[in-house]
């Protein structure tokens, strides 16, 4: 996703002002010249200078006739957007369902859904998801002794 | 010597040897698949190393990266797609050799000279790191402050991206390092009342996000699998290597030396080493006109350079805690987790582990020859591994692995946030390396600065009061002033040309 330098500069500029303001609220340590606010303040000033330069660069590029970066093609393709959104969605699913479902079912479901969205055939998706879930479980649970949750499979835990 | 024996005993333990073999195969695989880099290999190994003893953990990281950098040459040579960024410098050259029917020679050269370069870098690491550490024992906070400043400056000025973008990236990294109460004043900064943030943004989840999750995101938006058809026939890749060694001894030495040096410079790793060394080879060659047409000389030199850079990067990482590249930035995070804080004391505090690092480096570079051969033979299968199957597995691995480290949902959120940030930064041509360095070194920079200032009672000139500190300080200032001078010089000469 490519953005215009002017836009990036503007966002960074606003951000640096917020950081600067926040840093000024940090208390000074009595008897010391350099408190907690020194470094964040310096960073904020640096970011602000950079943001001004970025905007200037963007303006110069536009004056020279550079085209604005267009929205990338993938944003127009609903499947691509879905695939992109599936990444954060998988994280959320793992937390919401992990403990209750247990690692194995959760990983299996997650992988099958992801495989299908990425265009893997059903048969391959099911087999690879099952094998991968078992292998990762064996690796972490047996060899590295990480307490992955059993969840629904508690009665048949091995 | 007793430490060396202890280290040998630990490395030759069957479990550790098994780990090395698995890591080698994993590294060869990750390196050979285009789009998966050596840094990603280490990032994915982080959760696994977390639950291991220090020696197998380090062995895993060393072996997998050495293998990944080498096997990255395979798809470059056969398909003109570099497997890792470190092979990009001579991908065209290698592919042109393949088209001329010289695929055997190109692959053989990249594996054999990777091995030689890697061994050279390791030799420099073994000899220089302990000496440097002993020397650095007398360093005070002034020297360390300047070293960190130099490291951060290198990261910006050496990167091929624009300096301005490098700066933005560095500042973002430094800002991330500010979060939490690990600052000299122990005041919780930017925590928004969140207890998880009191200890700062955790380093390892950040690395997994930056180098693994961001890659999954990039794939998600460009998910198309093209079947890669490999036509080249590969025979015995090791024939004629002795001849090449006799023909290009200078290239081998030059590539190895330059690679080790560039690797040791913070922020520049194997990829920049390969580009620089390929360029140098072309400039100093007796037959520069042959470069780009399928000429092996550049591959010999740059192939040695990228593997020696890998070992070179460990020198500042171990001795000063300043990572030489993104890989060692992750390694430093792992070392802290293992209670082996990098710094001049590391050779005194964990001598056995350090000798183990050296041993594994040597071992990894030697087994590179047979395993590299097998990887080339298997390449037809490996290069066509469906990426739509691979990426979901990597994603699951990131989630489970990051969660397993601290059992913390928060860590996984950090991984996601940083992953998206890294994805957006790379899409907009902001280099990642300065941000990584900022994150790793931010705390150190502030601590050494504030302590020095308190010691000096606010007098900044005290930063130049000790001879070494003064030298380092002047060097840092020169690094900063150099672009200004260059700009002024260009302007001056430009004006003169206009007048003429």
Average pLDDT over residues B271-278: 90
Locate the chain B residue with the closest alpha carbon to A144: B51
Q: Is the pLDDT of residue B401 over 80?
A: yes
Minimal Cβ distance to A43: which of B174, B213, B396: B174
* pTM score, whole prediction: 0.88
- For residue A155, give the DSSP letter: G
Residue B266 CA to residue B315 CA, distance in Å, equals: 10
Is the pLDDT confidence value at B28 over 90? yes
Provide the token pair at B163: 């300096």
Interface TM-score (ipTM) > 0.85: yes
**Secondary structure of chain B in HEC code, one letter for each residue:** CHHHHHHHHHHCCHHHHHHHHHHHHHHHHHHHCCCCCHHHHHHHHHHHHHCCCHHHHHHHHHHHHHHHHHHCHHHHHHHCCCCCHHHHHHHHHHHHHHHCCCHHHHHHHHHHHHHHHHHHHHHHHHHHHHHHHHHHCCCCHHHHHHHHHHHHHHHHHCCCCCHHHHHHHHHHHHHHHHCECCCCCCCCECCCCCHHHCCCCCHHHHHHHHHHHHHHHHHHHCCCCCCCCCCCCCCCCCCCHHHHHHHCHHHHHHHHHHHHHHHHCCCCCHHHHHHHHHHHHHHHCCCHHHCCCCCHHHHHHHHHHHHHHHHHCHHHHHHHCCCCCHHHHHHHHHHHHCCCCCCCCHHHHCHHHHHHHHHHHHHHHHHHHHHHHHHHHHHHHHCCCCHHHHHHHHHHHHHHHHHHHHCCHHHHHHHHHHHHHHHHHHHCCCCCHHHHHHHHHHHHHHHHHHHHHHHCCCCHHHHHCCHHHHHHHHHHHHHHHHHHHHHHHHHHHHHHHHHC
| Cα dist from B500 to B377, B449, B488, B489, B497, whole Å | 62, 49, 18, 16, 5
Q: How far is CA B450 from CA B188, B344, B467, in A?
A: 17, 21, 20
Closest-CA residue of B relative to A43 is: B171
Q: Which of residues 84-103 of A touch B (CB under 8 A)?
A: 84, 86-88, 90-91, 94-95, 103
- Which residues form the domain of B229? 2-465
Residue whose entry in the numeric block shows the structure tokens 């430093």: B332
- Cα separation, B297 vs B305, in Å, equals 12
Name which of B175, B183, B389 is nearest A43 (Cβ-Cβ). Answer: B175
Structure tokens at B170: 């560095």
Whether the per-residue pLDDT at B71 is higher than 60: the answer is yes
Mean pLDDT along residues B1-30: 90
Chain B contacts of A95, Cβ < 8 Å?
409, 412
Q: What average pLDDT is seen over chain B?
A: 87
Measured distance CA(B465)–CA(B38) in Å, rounded: 42
Q: Mean pLDDT over residues B344-363, rounded?
A: 91
Look at B168 and A47 and tell me if their CB atoms are within 8 Å.
yes
Residue B306 and residue B275 in contact, taking contact as beta carbons nearer than 8 Å: no
Whether the predicted pLDDT of B224 surpasses 80: no
Q: Which of B300, B337, B278, B326 is nearest to B47 (CA)?
A: B337
**Given pLDDT bands bounded at 50, 70 and 90, which one contains residue B289?**
confident
Supply the pLDDT for residue B225: 57
Q: How far is it, in rounded angstroms, from Cα B260 to Cα B424?
A: 31
Q: Which of B300, B294, B282, B288 is nearest to B246 (CA)?
A: B300
Mean pLDDT of B238-262: 89
With a cut of 70, say whether residue B227 has pLDDT above it.
no
DSSP, collapsed to helix, strand or coil, labels residue A151 as helix
- Reported as a pLDDT band with limits 50, 70 and 90, residue B169 is very high
Nearest beta carbon to residue B183 from set A2, A36, A145:
A36
Average pLDDT over residues B449-468: 84
Q: What is the mean pLDDT of residues B149-172?
A: 85
Give the 3-state secondary structure of residue A158.
Answer: coil
Judged by CB atoms closer than 8 Å, whether chains meet at A74 and B221 is answered as yes
Cα atoms in the Cβ-side hemisphere of radius 13 Å centred on B80: 11
- Among the partner-chain residues B178, B216, B217, the one whose CB lies closest to the CB of A40 is B178
d(CA B283, CA B306) in angstroms, rounded, equals: 18
Do A84 and B217 lie within an 8 Å CB cutoff? yes
Report chain A residues whose CB lies below 8 A from the CB of B187.
Answer: 26-27, 35-36
A29 touches chain B (CB under 8 A): yes
Name which of A23, A40, A91 is nearest B399 (Cβ-Cβ).
A91
Of the candidates B168, B178, B217, the beta carbon closest to that of A39 is on B178
pLDDT higher for B269 or A33?
B269
Give the DSSP H/E element, type plus range, for residue A94: helix A78-101
Residue B499's pLDDT band, with cuts at 50, 70 and 90, is: low
pLDDT band of residue B316 (cuts 50, 70, 90) is very high
Flag whether B492 is in a domain: no
Residue B189, strand partner residues: B180
User: For residue B495, is pLDDT > 60?
Assistant: no
Best mutation target, A92, A146, A147, A149, to test chain B (most B CBs within 10 A): A146
pLDDT band at B450 (very low <50, low <70, confident <90, very high): confident
Cβ B291 vs Cβ B271: under 8 Å: no
pLDDT tens digits, B106-154? 999 999 999 999 999 999 999 999 999 998 988 888 999 999 998 888 8
- The neighbour count for residue B83, using CB atoms within 10 Å, is 34
CA of B396 to nearest chain A CA: how many angstroms apart?
7
* Closest B-chain CA to A52: B164
Q: Mean pLDDT highest for which of B72-86, B172-186, B298-312, B372-386?
A: B298-312
Quote the pLDDT of residue A157: 75
Minimal Cα distance from B182: which residue of A?
Answer: A36
Map residue A88 onto helix, strand or coil.
Answer: helix
Residue for token pair 């994993």: B26
Q: Which of B217, B450, B453 sits opposite A87 (nearest CB)?
A: B217
Q: Give CA–CA dist B268/B64, Å, rounded.
A: 19
Interface test with chain B among A114, A141, A143, A151, by most B beta carbons within 10 Å? A114
In a domain, B46, yes or no: yes
Average pLDDT over residues B369-393: 86
Q: Which residues of A touch B442 (CB under 8 A)?
A: 39
Q: How far is A155 from chain B (nearest CA, A)?
A: 22
Measured between CA atoms, how close is B345 to chain A, in angstroms?
Answer: 28
Q: Which of B168, B190, B389 is nearest residue A115 as measured by Cβ atoms? A: B389
Tell me the sheet residues that pair with B180: B189
DSSP A21-71: HHHHTSPPPTT-S--TTHHHHHHHHHHHHHHHHHHHHHHHHHHTTPPPPPP
Q: Does A50 reach chain B within 8 Å, measured CB to CB?
A: yes
Domains held by chain B: number? 1
Q: Which of residues 111-140 of A touch B (CB under 8 A)?
A: 111, 114-115, 118-120, 124, 128, 132, 136, 139-140
- Which residues have C-beta within 8 Å of that of residue B66, sequence separation ≥ 6? B27, B118, B307, B310, B361, B364, B365, B368
Per-residue pLDDT band at A95 (split at 50, 70, 90):
confident
Under the banding of pLDDT at 50, 70 and 90, the label for residue A38 is confident
Distance CA B215, CA B295 (A): 33
Whether the per-residue pLDDT at B65 is higher than 60: the answer is: yes
- Residues B500 and B497: their CA atoms lie apart, in Å, by 5
In this complex, which of A12, A128, A136 lies closest to B168 when CB atoms are compared?
A: A12
Question: Residue B112 has which token pair?
Answer: 């054999």
- pLDDT given at position B405: 81
Q: Which residue has the higher pLDDT, B257 or B383?
A: B257
Distance CA A14, CA A4 (A): 16
Residue B190 with chain A: CB contacts under 8 Å: 22, 40
Show me where the domains of chain A are located: 5-63, 74-156
Residue A123 has pLDDT above 90, yes or no: yes
What DSSP string describes A57-75? HHHHHHHTTPPPPPPPGGG
Does the beta carbon of A65 lie under 8 angstroms from any beta carbon of chain B? no
Mean pLDDT calculated for residue range B11-19: 92
Least confident of A130-139, B233-242, B243-252, B447-456: B233-242
Residue A112's closest chain B neighbor by CA? Answer: B392
- Do the beta carbons of residue B309 and residue B273 sit within 8 Å? yes
Chain B residues with CB inside 8 Å of A32's CB? 185, 454
- pLDDT at residue B223 is higher than 70: no
Least confident of A107-111, B16-20, B470-474: B470-474
For A96-147, the DSSP string reads HHHHHH-HHHHHHHHHHHHHHHTT--HHHHHHHHHHHHHHHHIIIIIIS---
Q: Which pair of tokens denotes residue B367?
A: 């087994």
Q: Is the per-residue pLDDT at B363 higher than 60?
A: yes
Average pLDDT taken over every residue of chain A: 86
Q: How many CB atoms lie within 10 A of CB B157?
A: 17
Chain A interface, best mutation among B220, B443, B451, by max A CB count within 10 A:
B220
Nearest CA in chain B to A57: B164
Answer whether B392 sits within 8 Å of A2, measured CB to CB.
no
**pLDDT for residue B115:** 94
Position B496 scores a pLDDT of 59
Residues of B in contact with A130 (CB under 8 A): none
Distance CA B375, CA B370 (A): 9
**Model confidence at B487: pLDDT above 90:** no
Average pLDDT over residues B447-463: 84
What number is the average pLDDT over the span B432-461?
A: 87
B58 pLDDT above the threshold of 80: yes
Predicted local confidence at residue B292, as pLDDT: 84
């Amino acid at each position: 996703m490519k953005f215009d330098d002017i836009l990036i500069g503007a966002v960074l500029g606003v951000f640096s002002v917020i950081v600067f303001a926040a840093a000024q609220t940090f208390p000074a340590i009595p008897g010391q010249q350099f408190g907690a606010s020194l470094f964040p303040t310096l960073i904020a000033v640096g970011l602000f200078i950079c943001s001004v330069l970025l905007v200037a660069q963007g303006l110069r590029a536009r004056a020279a006739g550079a085209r604005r970066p267009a929205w990338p093609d993938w944003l127009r393709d609903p499947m691509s957007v879905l695939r992109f959104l599936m990444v954060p969605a998988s994280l959320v699913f793992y937390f919401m369902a992990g403990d209750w479902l247990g690692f194995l079912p959760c990983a299996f479901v997650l992988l099958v859904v992801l495989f299908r969205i990425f265009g893997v055939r059903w048969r391959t998706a099911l087999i690879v998801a099952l094998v991968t879930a078992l292998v990762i479980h064996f690796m972490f649970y047996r060899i590295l002794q990480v307490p992955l949750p059993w969840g629904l499979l508690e009665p048949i835990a091995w | 010597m007793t430490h060396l024996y202890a280290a040998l005993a630990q490395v030759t333990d069957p479990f550790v040897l098994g780990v090395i073999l698995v890591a080698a195969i994993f590294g060869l695989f990750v390196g050979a698949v285009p789009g998966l880099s050596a840094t990603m290999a280490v990032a994915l190994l982080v959760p696994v190393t977390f639950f291991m003893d220090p020696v197998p953990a380090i062995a895993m990281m060393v072996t997998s990266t050495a293998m990944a950098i080498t096997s990255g040459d395979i798809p470059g040579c056969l398909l003109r797609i570099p497997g890792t960024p470190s092979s990009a410098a001579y991908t065209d050259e290698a592919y042109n050799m393949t088209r001329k029917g010289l695929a055997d020679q190109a692959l053989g050269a990249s594996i054999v000279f990777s091995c030689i370069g890697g061994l050279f870098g390791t030799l420099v690491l073994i000899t220089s790191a302990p000496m440097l550490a002993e020397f650095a024992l007398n360093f005070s906070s002034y020297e360390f402050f300047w070293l960190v400043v130099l490291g951060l400056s290198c990261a910006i000025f050496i990167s091929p991206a624009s300096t301005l973008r490098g700066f933005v990236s560095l500042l973002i990294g430094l800002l991330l390092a500010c979060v939490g109460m690990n600052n000299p004043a122990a005041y919780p900064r930017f925590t928004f009342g969140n207890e998880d943030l009191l200890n700062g943004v955790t380093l390892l989840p950040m690395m997994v996000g930056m180098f693994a999750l961001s890659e999954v995101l990039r794939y998600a938006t460009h998910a198309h699998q093209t079947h890669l058809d490999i036509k080249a026939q590969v025979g015995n890749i090791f024939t004629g290597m002795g001849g090449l060694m006799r023909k290009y001894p200078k290239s081998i030495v030059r590539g190895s030396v330059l690679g080790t040096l560039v690797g040791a410079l913070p922020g520049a790793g194997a990829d920049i080493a390969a580009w620089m060394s390929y360029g140098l080879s072309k400039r100093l060659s007796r037959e520069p006109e042959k470069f780009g047409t399928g000429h092996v000389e550049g591959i010999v030199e740059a192939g040695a350079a990228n593997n020696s850079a890998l070992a070179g990067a460990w020198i500042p990482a171990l001795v000063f805690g300043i990572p030489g590249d993104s890989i060692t930035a992750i390694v430093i995070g792992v070392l802290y987790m293992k209670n082996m804080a990098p710094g001049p004391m590391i050779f005194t505090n964990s001598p056995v582990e350090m000798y183990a690092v050296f041993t594994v480096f040597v071992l990894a570079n030697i087994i590179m020859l047979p395993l590299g051969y097998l990887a080339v033979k298997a390449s037809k299968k490996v290069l066509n591994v469906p990426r739509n199957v691979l990426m979901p597995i990597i994603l699951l691995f990131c989630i489970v692995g990051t969660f397993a480290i601290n059992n913390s949902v928060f860590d996984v959120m950090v991984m996601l946030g940083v992953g998206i940030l890294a994805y957006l930064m790379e899409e907009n041509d902001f280099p990642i390396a300065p941000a990584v360095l900022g994150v790793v070194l931010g705390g150190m920079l502030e601590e050494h600065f504030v302590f020095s200032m308190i010691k000096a009672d606010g007098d900044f000139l005290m930063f130049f009061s000790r001879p070494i500190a003064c030298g380092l300080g002047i060097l840092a200032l020169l690094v900063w002033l150099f672009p200004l001078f260059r700009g002024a010089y260009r302007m001056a000469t430009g004006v003169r040309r206009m007048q003429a």
